[in-house]
Amino acid sequence: MKVIKYPAKEEWSEIVERPHLDVSQLNATVQGVLDDVKNHGDEAVKRYEEKFDHAHLDSLAVTEAEIEEAEQLVSQELKDALHLAHHNIAAFHQSQKFEGKKVETCAGVTCWQKSVAIEKVGLYIPGGTAPLFSTVLMLATPAKIAGCKEIVLCTPPNKEGKVNPAILMAAKIAGVSKIFKAGGVQAIGAMAYGTESVPKVYKIFGPGNQFVMAAKQQVSLHDVAIDMPAGPSEVCLIADETANPVFAAADLLSQAEHGFDSQVFFITTSEKVLEDVKKEVEMQLEQLPRKEMAQTSLDNSKFILVKDEEEAIDLCNTYAPEHLIIATADYEQLAEKVVNAGSVFLGNYACESAGDYASGTNHTLPTHGYALAYNGVNLDSYNRKITFQHLTEEGIRNIGDAVVTMAENEQLEAHANAMRLRVKSLK
């Protein structure tokens, strides 16, 4: 980890830079796989499953028998945890339901919005270094609450052609319609274009490695919407002298173990806390099963000492983290000043893991600085807002002349005439 003490503001832009990968070759590879899936459907998906996941598949669809088998393989303890998490996620997202109201903008002119669910959504659930069954709950639960008619899930199988049982259990709890054994770029292509087995969807959600992210961005140009652009996962932790170094180190490592390219960004106003957390990270790292991965991530990470909390929050807003933990005495006041972040965790007891699994907030969040302009997945992510308007004769009298004048000045005569005829009909 790189320690930076009292950086000048002119250095901040360089400090908040994420590692950049040369993706030119990656994009060419991704495009080739997408084209193959588009042209050859199931046959191409099965071929890539054999190549990348080493699974020989007769069928892509997960059967009811496989779901029943998975239910027997998942421990009661994990089932109970999944149900608890699902309850909290559902409660939080249920509270986000949109209630439109009619507004009379002027006499005789009424406008309103209706929220309509996206009919077909696709969820991508990685199954590589960790089977992310929690992401099934995060993506499928709001989709079901929104009223999406078809919820399609793709996830890679193991070498025996089986999907992780906990992923299938979470899918059943959350109400997924159809599940398919497909991972990586081929899964994104299958949902974007449709194959003989996999339905074409209108929007794709879910995290993944750099190949999956590149595939999502490529299909979003012409074929399907996506939840958000994203990069490797990251956390920023702001601490003062009241922070618990043991907790802080654990939080940083929980992020670092996500992947080799994850990033940890630690900001503190206390040099003692910086040193204590640094030592604690090194001690806890030794106990982790994913030590090598966490260590590589920590090599890309930064521990920054700043002069006060004002500077800490300004630097954090410049970084725009996916996850932000504020472990300070006055976390409520600092929280008011957060303008760029995906999800925020307040106080010494609000660890990122809570939001990742069971507090109720969504863990599908903007990374790589995209929190400057994007929010995380929420109920609105699964809906479209359709606007309506109704005009009476009085409405025509009130806005008709203005519409004609504006259309004439934009030199759009047909627009002007559509209103002009109505104005004349009332005279």
List, by residue number, the catalytic residues.
Answer: 322-323
Instruction: Return d(Cα 278, Cα 17) in angstroms, integer.
Output: 21
Distances (CA, A) of 177 to 117, 144, 152, 154, 195: 15, 10, 6, 11, 16
DSSP, collapsed to helix, strand or coil, labels residue 124 as strand
105, 111, 103, 109: which is closest to 395 by C-alpha? 109
370 is in an annotated binding site: no
Is residue 356 a known part of a binding site?
yes
124 is in an annotated binding site: yes
Other Cβ atoms closer than 10 A to 296:
14
DSSP character at residue 53: S
β partners of residue 242: none
In 3-state terms the chain splits into helix, strand, coil percentages (rounded to 5) of 50, 15, 35
39 assigned binding-site residue: no
323 three-state secondary structure = strand
- Residue length, the chain? 427
Q: Is 255 annotated as a binding residue?
A: yes
186 in a known ligand binding site: yes
Token pair 């007769």 in the structure block, residue: 58
Secondary structure (3-state) at 401: helix
| Amino acid symbol at 324 | L
> Which run of H or E residues covers position 151?
strand 150-155
Going by their DSSP bridges, the two strands 103-106 and 109-117 should be labelled as antiparallel
Pairing of strands 383-391, 109-117: antiparallel
Q: Is the dihedral of CA 65, 179, 209, 190 positive or negative?
A: positive
Residue by residue, DSSP assigns 176-243 as -SEEEE--HHHHHHHHHH--SSSPP-SEEE----HHHHHHHHHHTTTT-EES----S-EEEEEE-TTS
Closest CA to 41 of 54, 56, 26, 60: 60
Determine if residue 40 is labeled as part of a ligand binding site.
no
Spatial separation of the C-alpha atoms in residues 53 and 56, rounded to whole Å: 9
- Is residue 244 annotated as involved in ligand binding? no
User: Does an H or E element contain 385, and which?
Assistant: strand 383-391
- The answer to whether 295 is annotated as binding is no
Which residue in 233, 270, 271 sits closest to 352, CA to CA?
Answer: 233
State yes or no: 209 annotated in a binding site.
yes
Q: What residues form the annotated binding site for substrate?
A: 233, 255, 258, 323, 356, 410, 415
Q: What residues form the annotated binding site?
A: 124, 186, 209, 233, 255, 258, 323, 356, 410, 415
Q: What residues form the annotated binding site for NAD(+)?
A: 124, 186, 209
